[in-house]
């Protein structure tokens, strides 16, 4: 039996620990921006694999509506938008303290602007950042 606990995920952007995630299945979504490559198949059915050197990654965070992390992320987004020269690109480290998975990213910038959504239910703040390079080390986890 595998185990997972969202409270055992440690996510840092630069020096700030981010904790205000929603309880949704996709509260933290980190993936490579592009495929590893593609096959070019010729007329006779043989092919050549063309490796893609792009190692960029995309992080999407779904945050609780009025958590202090939302205010901080929004301040950082505003700084990037208004004073790109003063903005410090993000470094990222995500650690699953229970299963030993580790993901990293460097030179991250906000790439999608959050929406302002309000209604009769909780409306998460969604922040999307793209990193120039990223890595993911996924382990077996405990009990395997």
82-93 pLDDT tens trace = 999 999 999 999
- To the question of pTM greater than 0.75 for the whole model, the response is yes
- Within a domain: 44: no
- Within a domain: 68: yes
Gap between the Cα atoms of 11 and 104, Å rounded: 10
Tell me which residue range forms the domain holding 29.
Answer: 7-33+50-137
Residue 53, CA distances (Å) to 32, 50, 56, 59 in order: 12, 9, 9, 19
Of 37, 55, 60, residue with least CA distance to 136: 55
- Within a domain: 42: no
- Within a domain: 76: yes
Domain count, the chain: 1
Contact 61, 70 (CB under 8 A): no
Contact 71, 135 (CB under 8 A): no
pLDDT tens-digit map of 19-31: 999 999 999 999 9
- Within a domain: 132: yes
């Amino acid at each position: 039996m595998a185990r997972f606990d969202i409270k055992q995920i440690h996510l840092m952007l630069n020096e700030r620990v981010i904790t205000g995630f929603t309880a949704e299945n996709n509260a933290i979504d980190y993936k490579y921006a592009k495929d590893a490559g593609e096959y070019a198949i010729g007329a006779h059915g043989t092919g050549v694999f063309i490796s893609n050197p792009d190692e960029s990654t995309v992080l999407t965070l779904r945050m609780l509506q009025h958590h202090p992390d939302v205010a901080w992320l929004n301040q950082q987004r505003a700084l990037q938008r208004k004073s790109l020269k003063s903005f410090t690109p993000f470094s990222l480290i995500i650690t699953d303290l229970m299963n030993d998975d580790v993901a990293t990213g460097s030179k991250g910038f906000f790439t999608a602007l959050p929406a302002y959504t309000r209604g009769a239910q909780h409306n998460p703040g969604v922040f999307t950042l793209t990193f120039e390079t990223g890595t993911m080390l996924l382990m077996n986890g405990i009990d395997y």
